[in-house]
Structures are given as structure tokens and as C-alpha cells.
Amino acid sequence: MRQAIHHLSVKAPTRGLVEFTDEARRFVAAQQIDTGLLTLFCRHTSASLLIQENADPSVQRDLERYFANLAPEDQQRYEHDAEGPDDMPAHLRTALTQVQLSVPVEHGQLALGTWQGLYLFEHRRHTHHRDIVLHLIGE
């Protein structure tokens, strides 16, 4: 059994989804592990990870609108606003999604479906560089 770990910095220019599937694929291919499991972990509390459709950008826009309605910026609603009015809504969005994903590796490649991509879901309005830990285990 072999293991490899890598930190991937994903730049999110603003709120929304940023695809990083190609970077994860390159990491997996470079490890020459035929069968295994890739775990992805976002080291932040105001951004999350999603596996989502990567063919139609309207899916991403609809997701952002849905979460904007679900956890709106409203200073009357929240006590926590240490980093501004988008701070607590970002934490709520992260709590409703996930910061860790697992993707099987089969024949040295991510076993994603045809229209599936890996996304950082940035929940803050301003530019951030988010640290995603990639951990691959297999043989």
C-alpha cells in the first residue's frame, strides 16, 4: 500500500464554484497508483467542496442563487460578523455542504462520472486562496 499527499491552492476570485478537477487528475496520474482512494479536504470554515455537474454552467449559477436564499446576508439575523456581513452566511453554507470528499481511483484515474467535476465552493465575496489537501492511498 502506498500513500501520497499534496496541498493544492485554489484561487477563488469571488463567491461561487471553482473547478479544480484537472489539478486533482494530474496529481493522481503522477502517483502511479492503479487502485485506491483519493480524499480531498478543504482546510477552511467558509468554503466547501462539491462534486457537481461540469457541463452546464447554469447549474453552478443556480446553486449559488439557492444558497444565497438559504443563508442570506442579513445583519439582523446573525450575531457573528467578525469579518463582515458575509461571514456567518459563509459558515452556514459550509455547514450545509461538506469540507471532505472521497473519490475512488480505478485504473490510475479518478472514477468520476461523465459530467462530474470537483469544485471548491467559495462562500465569501472577496478573493481567497483556499488550501485543499489531497491524500491518495492505494496500490
Write out the chain's pLDDT in tens, 139 residues: 999 999 999 999 999 999 999 999 999 999 999 999 999 999 999 999 999 999 999 999 999 999 999 999 988 899 998 888 899 999 999 999 999 999 999 999 999 999 999 999 999 999 999 999 999 999 9
Instruction: Give the residues across from 65 on adjacent strands.
Output: none
Residue of 90, 95, 123, 129 whose CA lies nearest to 15: 123
The reported pLDDT for the residue numbered 75 is 84
The reported pLDDT for the residue numbered 81 is 84
The reported pLDDT for the residue numbered 109 is 98
Which fold would CATH assign to domain 2-138? Jelly Rolls (2.60.120)
Say if residues 21 and 118 touch (Cβ distance below 8 Å).
Answer: yes
Residues 6+ positions from 105 with CB-CB distance below 8 Å: 28, 33, 34, 35, 36, 37, 38, 111, 136, 138
The reported pLDDT for the residue numbered 118 is 98
The reported pLDDT for the residue numbered 134 is 99
